[in-house]
Amino acid sequence: MSDKPKISAALRQLLLRLHFYAGILIAPFLLVSALTGLAYALSYPLEDALYSDLRTVDPGGERIGLADQVEAVTAAHPDWTVTAVRPAAEDDASTAVVVDDGVVRESGAVAVVYVDPYTGDVLGDSTSYGSSQAGPVREWISTLHRNLHLGEPGRLYSELAASWLWVVALGGLVLWIARKRRDGGLWRPKPHGTGRSRTLAWHGPVGLWLVLVLLFLSVTGLTWSRYAGENVAALRETLSWTTPSVTVEGATGGDHGGHGGHHESAAASPFAVALLDSVYATARDADMNGPLQITLPTGGGTQYLVAETHRSLPLEQDQMVVDTASGAPEVAEELRFADWPFMAQATNVFIAAHMGLLFGLANQLLLAAAMLAVVLMIAWGYRMWWQRRPKGGLVGRPYARGTLRRLPWPLVAVVVAVTAGVGWCFPLLGISLAAFAVIDVLIGLWQRFRKPPKENGDGEAVVSRRAALAGATVAAAVGAGVGMGIASSQGDGGEAAGADGAVEPFFGARQSGIETPAQGHALFASFALSDKAMTGETLDQAAMRANLQALLRDWSAVAAALAAGEAPPKAKIDGDDQFDAEAVAAGLDPARLTVTFGLGPGVFAKTGLEAAQPSKLVELPEFDGDKLNPAWSGGDLLLQVCGDDQQVVSGAFLELRKRAVGYGTLGWVQQGFSSRPADGGTPRNLMGFKDGSANPEVGSSTFDERVWAVDSEPGWFEGGTYLVFRKIRMRLPDWSMLTAEDQNLTFGRERDSGVPLSGGGEFDHPDFEALDASGLPAVPADSHVAVVHDAPMVRRGYNYDYGFLTEGAVSSDAATDGHLDGHMHAEHPYDAGLLFVSFQADPQAFIDAQEKMAASDRLSEFITAEGSAVFVLPPGAPEGGYVGQGLFEA
């Protein structure tokens, strides 16, 4: 199997973890930025209303000259120096006269006196900020958005938010597009079901539509940041993307783009004021349109800076120097916006859009809507985190760590290099990401070393090689000097079978019977959920859903008691004089009993829970070579009962079956066994070969990746898995006629040792390039190992032997005809083989492997699948709860 799916899955898991932590830890900064950005977008109409008495007038008659308007300001405020004039651009607009009133203001702030251009009446004064000419209210909100009024340190919050915004947006986009969904919902919300899946149905499409706006706000917002902004400025300087400007001799000041600017003032001569009208007329004749600002020269200067200040479409940002040295105003220099470098134009346009100026009110409303959507996205994100919480927990679990270890080293180097480059461009992003990584590693180490070791029946610690080495390292570091033993080989995943009296816990985050070391006996039983009450009345979906919940609750209580070696609670149908099924195992130890519950594809429709059905849960196809018997296939509910004592297993099944009366009818039952060799190695199947050599170690990242379903499933199913069941009959008499060499070539392994035919050890990966003495591949391409190696699943097989199938009192020995190969009776075929069970995060993994087997696996000549089913195994039951509880609480 190609490594591409593994790499893709690992990269996706890495992106999930990054998106999760960024959403959880950075979201508060984004929330503050969104709320203050919303306030800023709405501050434009608010300011228009608050300052309408200063900025608007009643049109009437002819306007008086600009010089007369300035003289009116000078008469009202003789101690204030006029530095610039902003002629009224609309019929109902006032003229703004920029003055130096002697008050020290922050950079970009100037005092402005408003004049009625028709009457010369002074309307009042205020403060104007930056090139957007914001008033005090909008500037206060802008500063809140920019730095929370905390000055330079406060800018770190907005830079952190802007630096992470594009990471969160792009990460979410990739995850949402790559997500598999059954019923669309990519572009528009389809909130079916309940719980996390319903929340995600809103979070994903809204984020998809919002992503371009978020990327735009992130990129443009970084231009005002402290550290990343310096890098952006340096890049613009290097690539000549900076905004050009004209040179003015003796001008009193000017405006600059951005949230703020710089303005210097000095006294302008009365002669300069007197020439204002002719300078204004000259500029208008030279096609200077829209709102203008005329900056007066200082002292004996003769050059006026005339600048267009229209920041909405069409942008009018032309600049012009008008010189009056000759006595008549003349255009000395001009710089048209159309002549700016393209990237300088684009930067100016983007900044205007970020500030809500480009499209006027429409721009401001769009920003406000985007900020509201961001607030909703953050709320939905936190809600999904809360919905992923385990029972009794306050918050959800993070996604599994260790994904980098599953990537090839060259790809890891690329990831590290890209991360380092991004960190250099966006320093706060790099620093915070490094801090996350360090904290995450420390948490991982803490969790690893605080987890108590598992014990076998003798109370001895059972740990994996990795855990033993890590524990020994820490012990040496603290001087404890305590050695840790490794109880078993890699073959049984670091686990050893316990003594008969050992107890496997029922309650936990995941169901037992999946990671549990395989017991000696297993029973698989399928039930169909009843659609009729015991009175014969037909049940509706709500009633069937209630029955399913009641049955799972009752089964969980019984299973928990039996696994602990305790008497189960009495069944409702039991009377004082009735036989109790628990008496079957009375006096016996629990013998590592586990009970695992599964739900089939049909049960969700029957109970009206289709919206909560995991997306990959569909009936398995019938593969080439299958001879499926409906009596041994499918089902709504599955019981997997395993233990080291067959009587304990049978007693548990009888007790559980009794509880299903009135809720479900028994479909089929299959029983199997598995005998572990005395040396604790891998068990063998009835063909004599070791079965399970290729399984990853329990608890390893490979095991977790193969088994546990994450993210793409409904929230209630988080941490569950899919179980595929197959009853596979082996043609053992025919198989026994093969030579040992032919059997080895069929499997691709040596029967006695389990070693691949390419050499090495039992658990070594086969070398498919190795040749044998004859020059042929040592592991044949059609061998079982070659066909299904590295299938992303974990196998657990149990042998079964039902003997010769007979009719009535006729025994197989009584048959005298139909012998095949001197071994098998045609009339009474021998029914023995394997109860194959696989756990996988996606049933497609099994389907892919089975299709390969059907096409080219020589083992297919000796096996036939007669039963088939697929189920979801929900997460484990919380203490005192029941399996599948999240399905009904979502």
Report d(CA 598, CA 721) in Å as an integer.
9
CA gap 781, 778 in Å, rounded: 9
531 included as an active-site residue: no
- Both structure tokens of 99: 């003055």
| 29 and 157 Cβ atoms separated by less than 8 Å | yes
Nearest to 515 by CA among 638, 637, 696: 696
Helices 342-354 & 195-222, crossing angle to 10 degrees?
130
Q: Rounded to an integer, what is the distance from CA 749 to the centroid of its chain?
A: 40
* Amino acid code (one letter) for 608: G
319, β-bridge pairs: 307, 335
Residues with Cβ within 8 Å of 420's Cβ and at least 6 positions away in sequence, in order, are 430
| SS3 state of residue 199 | helix
Beta carbons within 8 Å of 522's beta carbon, 6+ residues apart? 640, 641, 642, 649, 671, 672, 673, 674, 798, 835
Q: Per the residue annotation, which of 255, 626, 691, 857 is the catalytic one?
A: 691
With a CB cutoff of 8 Å and minimum separation 6, the contacts of 379 are: none
| Gap between the Cα atoms of 281 and 269, Å rounded | 20
SS (H, E, C) 245-302: CCCCCCECCCCCCCCCCCCCCCCECHHHHHCHHHHHHHHHHCCCCCCEEEECECECCC
- Euclidean distance between CA atoms 742 and 762, whole angstroms: 19
Q: Which contiguous run of DSSP H or E holds residue 613?
A: none
For residue 295 the two structure tokens come to: 């900056």
Longest CA pairwise span in the chain (Å): 132
Q: Is the dihedral of CA 40, 42, 44, 48 positive or negative?
A: negative
Beta carbons within 10 angstroms of residue 356's beta carbon? 26
The strand pair at 637-643 and 454-455 is best described as unpaired
What is the Cα–Cα distance from 885 to 390, expressed in whole angstroms? 11
Residue 765 DSSP symbol: P
User: Distance (Å, rounded) from C-alpha 44 to C-alpha 52?
Assistant: 12
Residues known to be catalytic: 691
